[in-house]
Structure 1
Amino acid sequence: MFKFTIVITTYNRLSLLQRAVESALAQTLPCEVIVADDGSSDGTEAYIRSLGDRVVYHRNPVNVGHCATMNAAVKLAQGDWIKPIDDDDYLAPNCIEELTKAIARYPQAVLCSTQAIQVSANGQELSRTQPISNAAVDYVPQSEIHYRMLLEQLPFGTPVQVAFRKDAFVKSGGWDSSFEVNYDDIDSWVKIAQYGNAILVNQHLAYRTLWHQGNHLKFSLQQRLHKHISIKEKIYKFVHPKYHDSLPSLQDIQDFLSLYWSLVGFKQGKFAQAFTLLLPVLFSWKGWQLLTQVIYARRCEQTFQQDCPAPRPKQMPLLSEM
């Protein structure tokens, strides 16, 4: 039987880290918990050591960044599967148990993603990600993964949603510091997906905090667009040959992303940045077509929630918002 390790990366966020650690230790199916500290100076070390042998503690002697910290923690992990968590996120108590059940049904999987609840800094629910079907678990063969990621049809998002098999992570080369806190996770999922299938568990088992100190907010729209394009270019190379005849061109995908980020800019009130991104692609018919298709697909996914007793969630964000 395979085992899980929960890896929590942290840097100077003790108050939030405590919530993440408590959620890991409260799992209905206990597993190894590693806290990887990127040289915090806020009492993180004292807190983790106070937990005794319930938590494995790794501390970088100097601050080396999120990617290198994750790679060091995975190297230490004893589990066959890794469940990463950023320190400002946390898990539902039955997360590991439900992921374990799903993976046992599909042992050839190397990636497993769950649905997430987006919460505010004080824990108030803001929105929920949408399942792509009404099945309990969606199975995605390896040959389909990259094509569907390219077209924004698979919700592989932030670390709190995703689990991966350790051996596939190692083969993939780990997290790439050139994407530091800006698509480093998505880049990893793209590489891991070379080595097996994927499954999507349609339960909300993870909580992602949206707040003013989120790492993605440190980057301009232009920087995020540039990284998003580089991720799409990487995915493009991995798409299975059976889809080559139906692939949009890389230029069309770049135009679509520019249109999308310009709309994000207008929504955020960043009008100068938004116009800069919009004007070169304003008359890209293919770009608008792809954007329309993605928006329509997201709205269609909401129909699977019609019988859900919970408050109606917002539309699932694009991969780039994660």
Structure 2
Amino acid sequence: MKFSIVITTYNRLALLKRAIDSALNQTVSCEVVVADDCSSDETEEYVRALSASLVQQGDDRLVYYRNQSNQGHSMTMNAGVAAASGDWIKPVDDDDYLAVNCIEEMIKAITTYQTKVNQNSSLQAVICSCQSAQVDPNGLELSRTRISGPGTVYYIPQEDIHYGMLLEQVPFGTPIQVAYRRDAFLNSGGWDSSLDINCDDIDSWIKIAQFGDAIFINQCLAYRTIWPGAYNQKISLEKRLDANILIKEKIYHRVHQKHHIRLPNLEHIRDYLKLHWSIVALKKAKLRNACYFCSTSVFSLQGWKLLLSSILNRKQPASKLKQIFRENKEAEVLVKKNILIE
């Protein structure tokens, strides 16, 4: 099994250096592809010089790819994957970075899954996710993605993935948390540039998940930087809500038929999302947005129930969360099908 770490970047050399260091310093040696979206700073000079220096030392792991013109995050990720040679891809944005044992732990989880869990099935794991810490620009931890499911490592059968994503019980999360099989990514069509930096990652997980099972590691193996200059902070709340609804609709229509009897109404899910984003708008002191988002959904009892369930799940401590995961009837089928690996 070969991993390629694909780092997408654009005009953020100071941050990129940290991401490259975290990739090259992994406890398991792997290819590192820097996919540059035609940066105008000194990114090209730095990466080419570093690659040449490593080659002189007999290390040819660092690969540099540069777009001929600025094409956006999604197209740059697609180009980086095309330039990679690994069986598995670990995407990294230039402002994020990895724990030194990230790839090692993912390989262990995937190998264990292949040898112990899925011996008698034609399906294979195509996506793997882990906990990540959200840190400020100085590296101070602000929060951490929640523990999900039973055990340190557990798997989710393909037929249960989209149902779990719909009800937010399967936290694949941002690119820094996720790794995926290169062939599944290519077969899915890659990242959709029409969604650039606005749920293009989640859209990709939805499509990749149709090709096999998922693995989740309840261990913090990655770090996501939260800062005012992040690209997604520049997207309006209206566009973020619209993208969120679009993504949920895509997931909804891929839910396996075995779960259809317990599916919430799609309109109730839209109501939940509108209520959620109205609260986000209130926190940002955007009263007009808040009123507009919840103008009709405020009267949706089912929307409020879904919102409350989501809030409670996110705030539960680890022990409580595992208990809820087992007891919640909506998650019952996942618990029965999930096989504890460790």
- For the criterion TM > 0.5, the same-fold answer is yes
Report 1:89-100 matches (<5 A): 89-100=96-107
Q: Indicate if the aligned counterparts of 1:34 and 1:73 stay in contact, CA closer than 8 A.
A: yes
Residue 147 of structure 1 aligns with an amino acid whose one-letter code is: Y
Tell me, yes or no, if structure 1 residue 57 matches structure 2 residue 60: no
- What CA distance in whole angstroms lies between the structure 2 residues aligned with 1:303 and 1:12? 42
Q: Indicate if the aligned counterparts of 2:313 and 2:321 stay in contact, CA closer than 8 A.
A: no
**What is the RMSD computed on CA atoms of the aligned residues?**
1.3
> What is the deviation of 1:54?
3.8
Report 1:55-204 matches (<5 A): 55-107=62-114, 108-204=124-220
Secondary structure class of the residue paired with 1:85: strand
Tell me, yes or no, if structure 1 residue 31 matches structure 2 residue 30: yes
Q: Indicate if the aligned counterparts of 1:132 and 1:301 stay in contact, CA closer than 8 A.
A: no
Report 1:250-265 matches (<5 A): 250-265=266-281
- What CA distance in whole angstroms lies between the structure 2 residues aligned with 1:299 and 1:66? 31
> What is the deviation of 1:94?
0.3
Q: Indicate if the aligned counterparts of 1:109 and 1:196 stay in contact, CA closer than 8 A.
A: yes
Q: Indicate if the aligned counterparts of 1:83 and 1:164 stay in contact, CA closer than 8 A.
A: yes
Per the alignment, do residues 305 and 146 of structure 1 end up closer, same or farther by CA in structure 2, a change over 3 Å counting? Answer: closer
Where do 5+ consecutive residues of structure 1 fail to align? 307-322
- Mark the structure with the bigger radius of gyration: 2
- What CA distance in whole angstroms lies between the structure 2 residues aligned with 1:305 and 1:143? 23
Give runs of ≥4 in structure 1 deviating > 4 Å. none
Report 1:6-21 matches (<5 A): 6-21=5-20
> What is the deviation of 1:275?
1.5
- What CA distance in whole angstroms lies between the structure 2 residues aligned with 1:300 and 1:126? 17
- Percent of aligned positions that are identical: 58
- Alignment deviations for residues 97-152 of structure 1 (CA, whole Å, 9 cap, x no partner): 00000000123210000100100011111111111135110211001100010111
Where do 5+ consecutive residues of structure 2 fail to align? 52-59, 115-123, 323-342
Q: TM-score normalised to the size of structure 2? A: 0.87
Residue 24 of structure 2 aligns with an amino acid whose one-letter code is: L
- What CA distance in whole angstroms lies between the structure 1 residues aligned with 2:275 and 2:318? 23
Q: Indicate if the aligned counterparts of 1:133 and 1:304 stay in contact, CA closer than 8 A.
A: no
> What is the deviation of 1:305?
8.7
